[in-house]
């Protein structure tokens, strides 16, 4: 009889241990803030790309890795601006097509109109509306050795994009390294 109680105790201990492995990280994650203080300086996206955040924007600390190619900003208007930079050399057209395909595949967003040309300091490309569960605006910009994809959600109409957010996209710059 004692071995049964011992086995039951060991089994219960294993279950409590596994439960702790699941519950403790979830509790810690919930307790930590997901957004930092308002960002007042340019943010290094990565690969030499910098963004001047809209006034009052906050860095999403859970999803951002400044300087490594992934930055997510949250604005006071409830918008999410995700900027992804990668090292890229070559013809911009294939990268732009790939970025649109990736947005359709991963985010379930489809182009909802003709893209318009977009220029930023050292970068050029296009931007336009996307439709899906959450309408969005995207921008794809390339430079001599870098490509940037920006996704702003939720935006029902790119023409209604707040001026500070539009300025952040057109103000992206490629700093010489």
Q: Examine the domain organization and report whether 88 and 122 are in the same domain.
A: yes
Q: Examine the domain organization and report whether 93 and 69 are in the same domain.
A: yes
Predicted TM-score (pTM) of the model is: 0.78
Chain-centroid distance of CA 137 in Å reads: 13
Q: Which has more pLDDT, 27 or 62?
A: 62
Q: For 162, list phi and psi in degrees, rounded to 5.
A: -55, 140
Q: Examine the domain organization and report whether 22 and 46 are in the same domain.
A: no
Q: Examine the domain organization and report whether 93 and 12 are in the same domain.
A: no
pLDDT at 89 over 50: yes
pLDDT at 29: 47
Report yes or no: 153 and 164 within 8 Å, Cβ to Cβ.
no
pLDDT at 66 over 50: yes
pLDDT at 25: 56
The closest alpha carbon to 69, from 49, 51, 54, belongs to 49
Report, as an integer, the average pLDDT of 47-76: 93
pLDDT at 30: 45
pLDDT at 46: 94
Q: Examine the domain organization and report whether 22 and 62 are in the same domain.
A: no
Q: How far apart are CA 112 and CA 54, in angstroms?
A: 25
How far apart are the two ends of the chain, measured CA to CA in Å?
A: 72
Q: How far apart are CA 121 and CA 116, in angstroms?
A: 17
Task: List 153's β-bridge partners, or say none.
Answer: 80
Q: Which has more pLDDT, 113 or 79?
A: 79
Q: Examine the domain organization and report whether 1 and 22 are in the same domain.
A: yes
Report yes or no: 172 and 123 within 8 Å, Cβ to Cβ.
yes
pLDDT at 121: 86
Average pLDDT, the chain: 86
User: For 18-56, how does the pLDDT look when each residue is reduced to its tens digit (9 = 90+)?
Assistant: 776 776 555 444 444 456 778 889 999 999 999 999 999
Domain of 18 in residue numbering reads as 1-32
Domain containing residue 88: CATH number: 3.40.1000.10
Q: Examine the domain organization and report whether 39 and 21 are in the same domain.
A: no
Q: Examine the domain organization and report whether 137 and 62 are in the same domain.
A: yes
Q: Which has more pLDDT, 27 or 74?
A: 74
Q: Examine the domain organization and report whether 20 and 42 are in the same domain.
A: no
Q: Examine the domain organization and report whether 26 and 41 are in the same domain.
A: no
Report yes or no: 150 and 139 within 8 Å, Cβ to Cβ.
yes
Q: Examine the domain organization and report whether 48 and 125 are in the same domain.
A: yes
Q: Examine the domain organization and report whether 16 and 40 are in the same domain.
A: no
Query: Residue 94 CB: number of other CB atoms within 10 A?
Result: 10
Q: How far apart are CA 57 and CA 40, in angstroms?
A: 8
Q: How many domains does the chain have?
A: 2
Report yes or no: 168 and 53 within 8 Å, Cβ to Cβ.
yes
Q: Is the peptide bond before 154 cis (omega within 30 degrees of 0)?
A: yes
The closest alpha carbon to 124, from 106, 144, 110, belongs to 144
């Amino acid at each position: 009889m004692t071995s049964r109680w011992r086995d039951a105790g060991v089994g219960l201990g294993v279950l409590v241990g596994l439960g702790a492995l699941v519950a403790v990280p979830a509790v810690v994650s919930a307790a930590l803030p997901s957004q930092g203080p308002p960002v007042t300086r340019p943010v290094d996206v990565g690969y030499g790309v910098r963004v001047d955040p809209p006034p009052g924007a906050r860095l999403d600390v859970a999803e951002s890795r400044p300087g490594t190619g992934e930055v997510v900003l949250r604005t006071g208007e409830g918008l999410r601006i995700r900027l992804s930079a990668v090292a890229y050399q070559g013809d911009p057209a294939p990268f732009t097509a790939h970025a649109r395909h990736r947005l359709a595949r991963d985010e379930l967003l489809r182009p909802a109109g003709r893209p318009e040309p977009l220029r930023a300091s050292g970068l050029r490309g296009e931007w336009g509306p996307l439709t899906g569960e959450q309408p969005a605006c995207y921008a794809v910009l390339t430079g001599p050795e870098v490509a940037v994809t920006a996704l702003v959600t939720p935006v029902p109409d790119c023409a209604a994009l707040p001026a500070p957010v539009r300025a952040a996209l057109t103000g992206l710059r490629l700093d010489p390294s």
